[in-house]
Structure 1
């Protein structure tokens, strides 16, 4: 009986220690988290970006990604670099953000917009990666802490891109326990990818299936860009009502 009591006490002691370590670890992570509201309020951000803030809620998005100083981040389809700059500010000078764009997209849409933004001091820790979606990560880059893919996965569905290969490459580039945060404009149930080019929307369940097929596990989802009043049957540009958007956080298993 005494041995049994001693065994149970030991087990409880170990569990208590593990719980304490978990609390300490969480506290340490919270202590490293930057002031996201202050990042968004930085006086050297452009007026155009502040206009975009009104619909993108960047402080909440940054907090949801968990971007912290020192992280290695890949920003898929960086485009003009709105999100890239915010991530660069969050990871700080000891971190790095790889901003991916295919050459064809730069030539057709981005032009010199990213290069102009890249001259800002806040962008010193950014590397512009000109690579196709099928193979978006340079061979010397691995162990990423975070990948972001904001409001552009739907675009890839009507391009000549092997999305399964793209998703596998993102999965491989993350360190175990690393995260993929992906957000996009909601389509109606049953629309799948059929309205991606016309409405710039994608059905959430379709995106989930594709991402999860690569091995990602859903960790959490956010509601701060949800708009149930959106009928999801109109293009996302200049909508009559706010666009319903989903925000998902996936993790590469440990």
Structure 2
């Protein structure tokens, strides 16, 4: 009888131990997936950024990209740092965001906007990388989890940049299985890069061809910034209807 009681007690103890392990293990598996909506709603974000949120839909963008805590990310053409800050908040102190811009872009457009933003506590894990677009990654940086290129690839097309070289450098900097998230303003079929400087748009098929030529494989398309009612004939942010924008998720093959 005593042995039977002890046996049942041991079995119950084993079940309790397994239950405790399961309860503690479950949060750890989800720990790298942040609460994107909470990050966007952080009370210390600037009012100007909140206004941009209405168009940019950052919670959906972060979720589509799959940004995780602890990631190492390169943000191409960071400009004033709107996306850089969101990425920094998302990867957290254990992660790193490299914010890339060329010296020419900083001088002509960014000025001190990024430097002012960089003083915020949320930007402590950000490294400002001032390098040309066709050589955007510091030599000591490799094995990136992700590269983001938001609404700026069209700008590169009218600069003196070898885009094929740039794309190959991005490909090489990613770890196998790493992702490139790229979004831009959509031009009409047949426009290619011809309206990049005037309308700040690029034909999606043209961008795809250039990115895929570097070895990237398309794995997902986001439709949350699509506006099919946009005739794509006016400069961005000036038409009567919202600008049609495409969002693509590429991966470096394993």
Which TM-score applies when normalising by structure 1?
Answer: 0.88
Verify: 1:33 aligned to 2:33, yes or no. yes
2:129 maps to what in 1?
A: 129
Looking at structure 2, the residues matched to 34 and 252 of structure 1 have their Cα atoms a distance apart, in angstroms, of 23
Give the corresponding residue for 1:52: 52
Following TM superposition, by how much is the alpha carbon of 1:206 offset from its aligned partner in structure 2, in angstroms?
A: 0.2
Which residue in 1 is equivalent to 2:219?
219
Kindly state the Cα deviation for residue 225 of structure 1 after the two structures are TM-superposed: 0.2
State how many pairs are aligned: 229
Contact conserved, 2:32 with 2:70, CA < 8 A, in 1? no
* Greater than 4 Å deviation, 4+ residue runs: 27-31
Structure 1 residues 251, 29: closer, same or farther in 2, change over 3 A? farther
RMSD of equivalent CA atoms: 1.3
Displacement of 1:65 in angstroms is 1.1
- 2:85 aligned residue: 85
Output the CA distance in 2 between the equivalents of 1:189 and 1:53. Answer: 28
Matched, 1:159 2:171: no
Query: 3-state SS of the aligned residue for 2:129?
Result: strand
Q: Secondary structure at the match of 1:159?
A: coil
Q: Say whether residues 1:142 and 2:142 are aligned partners.
A: yes
**Which residue does the alignment assign to 2:95?**
95
Q: Which residue of 1 aligns with 2:20?
A: none
Residue 208 and residue 119 in structure 1: after superposition, are their counterparts in 2 closer, same or farther (change >3 A)? same
Q: How big is each residue's C-alpha offset from its partner over 1:53-107, in whole Å with a ceiling of 9 and x where there is no partner? A: 0000000001111111110000000000000000000000000000000000000
Structure 2 gaps, min length 5: 1-26
SS in 2 for 1:182: strand
Distance in structure 2 (CA, Å) of the matches to 1:32 and 1:211: 28
Distance in 2 of aligned mates of 1:29 and 1:50: 31
**Aligned counterparts of 2:102 and 2:28: Cα–Cα separation in 1:** 37
Q: Using the alignment, how far apart are the partners of 2:217 and 2:89 within structure 1?
A: 27
Structure 1, unaligned runs of 5 or more:
1-26
Q: Residues 1-254 of structure 1 correspond to what in structure 2 (within 5 A)?
A: 30-254=30-254
Task: Measure, in 1, the Cα distance between the counterparts of 2:245 and 2:217.
Answer: 20
Q: Structure 1 residues 29, 100: CA separation in 2 closer, same or farther (over 3 Å shift)? A: farther
- TM (normalized to structure 2)? 0.88
